[in-house]
Structure 1
Amino acid sequence: MDADHTPLLSNNHSNQDEEEKLSTVKKFGSESRKLWKLAGPAIFTAICQYSLGALTQTFAGLVGELDLAAVAVENSVIAGLAFGVMLGMGSALETLCGQAYGAGQIRMLGIYMQRSWVILLTTACILVPVYVWSPPILELVGETTEISEAAGKFAVWMLPQLFAYAMNFPIQKFLQAQRKVLVMAWISVVVLVLHAFFSWLLIFKLGWGLTGAAVTLNTSWWLIVIAQLLYIFITKSDGAWDGFSWLAFADLWGFVKLSLASAVMLCLEFWYLMVLVVITGRLPNPLVPVDAISICMNINGWDAMIALGFNAAISVRVSNELGAGNARAAKFSVLVVSVTSVAIGVVCMILVFATRDYFPYLFTTSEAVGKETTKLAVLLGVTVLLNSLQPVLSGVAVGAGWQAIVAYINIGCYYIVGLPAGILLGFTFGLGAQGIWSGMIGGICLQTIILIVVTSMTNWNKEAEQAESRVKRWGGSTGEH
């Protein structure tokens, strides 16, 4: 009799295994669809908004070398600094809005956004002197007087963009948390088309030069803000927008602390590769290596927009699921996005390796710069692969509200390990730009490994409980007012 039952049991087992595999594949597919619904438009929006500055830079380059240098330096150093701070402080809203939305506290989203405006507009006022006194600051980091003066003049004209950042990032996080990412994508693409036309008209055709560049770039950023605000005010955002409220000024200190932790976490990542360009400028005969690294950073910037889209998507998924108390769904979401983004990272890395003899000449006519860029392409490929997973794990951290922990990890890995290692390899061992970059990749590697360990050891049930108490503590009870 036992002999008769054995095949039956083994058949049952194999059937169960197959069913489990099928259900896992189904779940993976379903989660993938949810992620791409968020990530697709988020990537598209990030690329469109990144292109605003890049387009202005291209048109300025057609006017003259000094104009190009002025726009490039203002864009990457001054506006880059402000962008990092604003995006970072705004990402505190990702945690709170996402978790409140998951918990069904829809009305709190509008209040959180207003709190974030108060904090970011105050921060923008604090950053104004950096714009006003940018020439001496730029000279301090090693720019020539001529470039510093031109970039400084352009920076003062770009002050409206600073306040547009302060308004834009809270609006984006507010819409993202409700999964209204398509609205942002449509607005961004329309503005980008208008921006291209008016940049050509004002900078090139009418010969306004840098003045035209400033007018179009400021106007484009404010158009994005106004269009998004009109959408929110007209549709009421499904009840998430309930008008202006004095509650925006309540509990500001707790909000400031999370915003600062977010800003530190993101800025440390954002500036890490910017520092690479500055240090390379300290090498003997820096012109060729600086140009080569700038080309690589440009490609890395486009690639980073894909990772930024996944960062936003996973942050929304994790915060929504934790807010709703679905610990297992949050955990599964992390797994799916990690697999997806690493697969994309591998494809991008292969693409960089395959085109390393050709892509440098899209950006330069110089043989020396082309050869140096080809040499650096191996490091670019490795960076692209690491950058596919690392921002996703940062997005998980934002969704779960671990900004302060990640800020400490970033300081240790990037600035205590990576940067000194890069300086040692580049200068002491004489490996130049390749040495500097290799050391810094070591920092990214270490940070990625630590984040993988932290994420895999996370007790997601505990995180869901913390999300519930966070929503209650920061205004969940204000629903009755």
Structure 2
Amino acid sequence: MDGGVREGLLERRHHQEKGGQSFIKEFRAESKTLWKLSGPAIFTSICQYSLGALSQTFAGQVGEIELAAVSVENSVIAGLAFGAMLGMGSALETLCGQAYGAGQVTMLGVYMQRSWVILLATACALLPLYIFAPPILLFFGESAEISRAAGKFALWMIPQLFAYAMNFPIQKFLQSQRKMMAMAWISGIVLVLHTFFSWLLILKLGWGLVGAALTLNTSWWLIIVVQLIYIFYTKSDGAWGGFSWLAFQDLFGFAKLSLASSIMLCLEFWYFMILVVIAGHLENPVVPVDAISICMNIQGWDAMISFGFNAAISVRVSNELGAGNARAAKFSVVVVSITTVFIGVVAMVAILATKDVFPYLFTNSEAVAKETTRLSILLALTALLNGLQPVLSGVAVGAGWQSLVAYINIGCYYIVGFPLGILLGFVFKFGAMGIWGGMIGGVCLQTLILIVITSIRNWDTEAKKAVNRVRKWGGAIADH
């Protein structure tokens, strides 16, 4: 072989090896950053999810009707409110994240106050959901006894509704500044206190549902108060400059972005809630509903990991786009996608390996356990999708694509997945398997579309849009 050719091949191989080493080095650095963000976010999500789950567990020790009241209020009434509030608050995720990335930290405090105004107004609009809970639950096919008990408990849980309105803007404010550890510590300490006082009031003192409502409301408001003390005391590195009348400016435009965010996330959040409701209309629904409920419980815990990465990638994308770093934002998406797909595969394998065992952790019924085992293949597939789908939604929030994704969700979930589930479950008589399988079809389609959109987007253009967005929304604040 000619010496010049050999040298050329060796040089090319050297560059390839160097490029491969460079990619691995970058991947490790980005992965470390993502885990620093997602670890505390996952812990925070699990702690806050556990507040309602623990109240439900303690209520179950009191009696069947108490368990039903707390679980129905928690999953349906509070679930609807939680989805709406989380969605409305996620507009702040885009704006705060991009403003922080652009170095415009003084905007963050005003954005948070604007979000408080909008979310408190939203909470007032959602009050009828709590006040008229019994007829709403009856409309969805719940029994009269459970509807009355859950409706009574819903009235006691109205303070939690307004806690959501305060908490989500605070979380997005802190999250955009990467202050995840502060939220994790506060949520962890409150969870420990919540566990003790739930046991004391619900079981030891025998206060029942009153004790459950008191501890749950107090725990949520304690999280808010401690977070606010932290913000006011530290000034959040200049992001908090005190209360301002600027919070009441540009509310219409802010509300418009908040509404797009809410529609996008609510369509996702409520999608699998509908699964349990539809299953209740099957013939002999007790066994399939119980089996699906067990699967949804496991899916809920698995989703907490996804929520952590959702928050992390939203922060990374919004910060980098706000700073004009298109390449860094795109690379972060690649790293988090590889990481979460791997976690999804591990979760899928774990579910399939324990499909004959885990149902008995939740039920003594042989029929329910067998049906849960039968549904475990769909649970495993959902866990795999849980790895990537919420992360792509986090990318959408970080980049400010909420309106586009809202339309995609309507098409994939409610025009394709929902009717397909009805068709397979009721017309073709596949029961719970058919309903869930059809709805997974909607999630698969949505995930594929988001992969394509994320892949073909011009990230340099997205960075310019982020800079313009920061300039547009921050103009009045900067002039002030």
Give the length in aligned residue pairs: 480
SS in 2 for 1:474: helix
Q: State the partner residue of 1:473.
A: 472
Give the CA deviation at 1:477: 5.3
Distance 1:126 1:424 in 2: 35
Q: Is the 8 A contact 1:82 1:162 kept in 2?
A: yes
Deviations 1:118-156 (A, max 9, x none): 000000011111101100000000000100000000000
Deviations 1:297-319 (A, max 9, x none): 00000000000000000000000
Distance 1:15 1:477 in 2: 53
SS in 2 for 1:242: coil
Q: State the partner residue of 2:177.
A: 178
The yes-or-no answer on 1:127 pairing with 2:126 is: yes
Distance 1:442 1:387 in 2: 13
Q: Is the 8 A contact 1:164 1:221 kept in 2?
A: yes
For residues 50-449 of structure 1, what are the structure 2 equivalents within 5 Å? 50-449=49-448
Give the CA deviation at 1:7: 1.6
Distance 1:7 1:425 in 2: 62
Q: State the partner residue of 1:457.
A: 456
Give 1:232's aligned amino acid. I
Distance 2:357 2:2 in 1: 67
Q: Is the 8 A contact 1:105 1:476 kept in 2?
A: no
Distance 1:361 1:343 in 2: 27
Distance 1:21 1:246 in 2: 53
Distance 1:254 1:466 in 2: 16
Give the CA deviation at 1:5: 1.9
Give 1:295's aligned amino acid. I
User: Structure 1 length as normaliser, TM-score?
Assistant: 0.99
Distance 2:291 2:87 in 1: 28
Give the CA deviation at 1:476: 4.0
Q: Is the 8 A contact 1:108 1:476 kept in 2?
A: no
Distance 1:299 1:334 in 2: 26
Deviations 1:364-421 (A, max 9, x none): 0000000000000000000110111000000000000000000000000000000100
Distance 1:288 1:342 in 2: 32
SS in 2 for 1:192: helix
User: Structure 2 length as normaliser, TM-score?
Assistant: 0.99
Give 2:368's aligned amino acid. V
Distance 1:45 1:158 in 2: 21
Note the residue ranges of structure 2 that are not aligned, 5 or more in a row.
Answer: none
Identity %: 73
Q: Is the 8 A contact 1:93 1:112 kept in 2?
A: yes
Q: Is the 8 A contact 1:90 1:170 kept in 2?
A: yes
Distance 2:143 2:321 in 1: 50
Give the CA deviation at 1:479: 2.3
Give 2:108's aligned amino acid. L
SS in 2 for 1:91: helix
Give the CA deviation at 1:65: 0.2
Give the CA deviation at 1:271: 0.5
Distance 2:224 2:349 in 1: 38
Give 2:430's aligned amino acid. L
SS in 2 for 1:243: coil
Distance 2:368 2:111 in 1: 48
Q: Is the 8 A contact 1:419 1:440 kept in 2?
A: yes
Distance 2:470 2:348 in 1: 40
Distance 1:129 1:408 in 2: 27
Distance 1:355 1:101 in 2: 44
Distance 2:88 2:35 in 1: 25
Distance 2:146 2:250 in 1: 44
Give 1:372's aligned amino acid. E
For residues 41-52 of structure 1, what are the structure 2 equivalents within 5 Å? 41-52=40-51
SS in 2 for 1:475: helix
Give the CA deviation at 1:3: 2.1
SS in 1 for 2:405: helix
Give the CA deviation at 1:4: 2.2
Distance 2:336 2:193 in 1: 34
Distance 1:331 1:111 in 2: 29
Distance 1:286 1:7 in 2: 72
Q: Is the 8 A contact 1:300 1:380 kept in 2?
A: yes
Give 1:111's aligned amino acid. V
SS in 2 for 1:60: helix
Note the residue ranges of structure 1 that are not aligned, 5 or more in a row.
Answer: none
SS in 2 for 1:30: helix
Give the CA deviation at 1:480: 4.4
Distance 2:468 2:384 in 1: 37
Q: State the partner residue of 1:6.
A: 5
Give 1:283's aligned amino acid. L
Distance 2:319 2:474 in 1: 17
